[in-house]
């Protein structure tokens, strides 16, 4: 599965989202231009929140699960309507199961060895995690050996102002967690934060293309 070129490759990581919050938080994110939403499974109620997001998602959006560690969890997310698989690690069994179910798979990698193993298993994008540890120099080094079209999404400590430097290092998208959403955040706060990230992405991307 490949993302449509018109989709902004920013993944909203909604750790701790509840089914009750999902409609308002999801609407704020979708209205701001986000089309990739993940609810990590290591918090109660994640599957219910995924179902609630799927119900309101635009046709071009992908909603799914994060912190997916087993093939059984892949099945659970798919049963909830999820079409996005995000993991902190690179488990070939998990990746292959997601591919078999038609999900967009973005496992976590921190080294070239993990990256190549994930791609061999069928990964569609690579979550560079933790981004603070890999660093922009580390990512740039990885791009010199990975297939040129590989989507690379740093996750961890990404702020709007850091998007441009990461793009220059080879990133093609990002995962954004607590700087975007924390349990209890209201809809207006999420809308403001989401708009700032989308604006930063659009600005940095236009500058990159103009070079």
* CATH code for the domain of 28: 3.20.20.70
User: How are beta strands 84-86 and 104-106 bridged, if at all?
Assistant: parallel
The token pair that represents 168 in the structure block: 């220059």
Is residue 63 within 8 Å of 81, Cβ to Cβ?
Answer: yes
List, in sequence order, the alpha helices (H) in 103-174. Answer: 112-121, 131-143, 163-169
Domain presence at residue 44: yes
Is 127 part of the annotated catalytic residue set? yes
Taking the C-alpha atoms of residue 136 and residue 122, their distance in angstroms, rounded to an integer, is 25
To the nearest whole number, what is the mean pLDDT of the chain?
97
Is residue 87 within 8 Å of 69, Cβ to Cβ?
Answer: yes
Taking the C-alpha atoms of residue 51 and residue 23, their distance in angstroms, rounded to an integer, is 10
User: Which residue has better confidence, 134 or 211?
Assistant: 134
Domain presence at residue 47: yes
- Model pLDDT for residues 64-106, shown as the tens digit of each residue: 999 999 999 999 999 999 999 999 999 999 999 999 999 999 9
Name the band, by pLDDT with cuts 50, 70 and 90, for residue 22. Answer: very high
The mean pLDDT of 132-161, rounded to a whole number, is 97
Domain presence at residue 3: no
3-state secondary structure of 156: coil
- The range of the structural domain enclosing residue 93 comes to 10-210
The mean pLDDT of 155-167, rounded to a whole number, is 97
Name the band, by pLDDT with cuts 50, 70 and 90, for residue 3. Answer: confident
**Pick from 16, 205, 175, 33: nearest CA to 104:** 175
In the predicted structure, residue 1 carries a pLDDT above the cut 80: no
In the predicted structure, residue 20 carries a pLDDT above the cut 80: yes
Place of tokens 């934060």: 193
The token pair that represents 51 in the structure block: 């179902």
Find residue 86's DSSP bridge partners.
106
Given 127, 137, 161, 207, which residue is catalytic?
127
The token pair that represents 113 in the structure block: 């060895």
Name the band, by pLDDT with cuts 50, 70 and 90, for residue 177. Answer: very high
In the predicted structure, residue 110 carries a pLDDT above the cut 80: yes
Domain presence at residue 1: no
List, in sequence order, the alpha helices (H) in the chain. Answer: 22-32, 46-56, 71-79, 92-100, 112-121, 131-143, 163-169, 187-210
Name the band, by pLDDT with cuts 50, 70 and 90, for residue 186. Answer: very high
Is 137 part of the annotated catalytic residue set? no
Number of folded domains in the chain? Answer: 1
Is residue 30 within 8 Å of 54, Cβ to Cβ?
Answer: no
Name the band, by pLDDT with cuts 50, 70 and 90, for residue 5. Answer: confident
The mean pLDDT of 180-204, rounded to a whole number, is 97
Among the residue ranges 4-18, 80-94, 103-117, 125-139, the one predicted with the least confidence is 4-18
Taking the C-alpha atoms of residue 189 and residue 211, their distance in angstroms, rounded to an integer, is 34
The mean pLDDT of 134-162, rounded to a whole number, is 97
In the predicted structure, residue 37 carries a pLDDT above the cut 80: yes
Is residue 63 within 8 Å of 34, Cβ to Cβ?
Answer: no
């Amino acid at each position: 599965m490949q993302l449509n070129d018109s989709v902004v490759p920013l993944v909203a990581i909604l750790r701790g989202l509840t089914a009750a919050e999902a409609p308002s938080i999801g609407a704020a994110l979708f209205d701001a231009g986000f089309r990739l939403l993940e609810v990590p499974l290591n918090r109660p109620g994640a599957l219910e929140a995924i179902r609630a997001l799927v119900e309101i998602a635009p046709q071009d959006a992908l909603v799914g699960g994060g912190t997916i560690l087993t093939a059984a969890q892949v099945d659970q997310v798919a049963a909830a309507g999820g079409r996005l698989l995000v993991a902190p690690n690179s488990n070939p069994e998990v990746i292959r199961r997601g591919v078999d179910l038609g999900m967009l798979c973005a496992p976590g990698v921190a080294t070239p060895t993990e990256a190549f193993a994930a791609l061999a298993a069928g990964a569609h994008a690579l979550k560079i995690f933790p981004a603070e540890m890999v660093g922009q120099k580390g990512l740039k080094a990885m791009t010199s050996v990975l297939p040129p079209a590989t989507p690379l999404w740093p996750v961890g400590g990404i702020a709007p102002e850091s998007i441009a430097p990461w793009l220059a290092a080879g990133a093609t998208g990002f995962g954004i967690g607590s700087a975007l959403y924390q349990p209890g955040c209201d809809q207006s706060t999420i809308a403001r934060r989401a708009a700032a990230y989308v604006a930063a992405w659009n600005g940095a991307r236009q500058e990159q293309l103009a070079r």
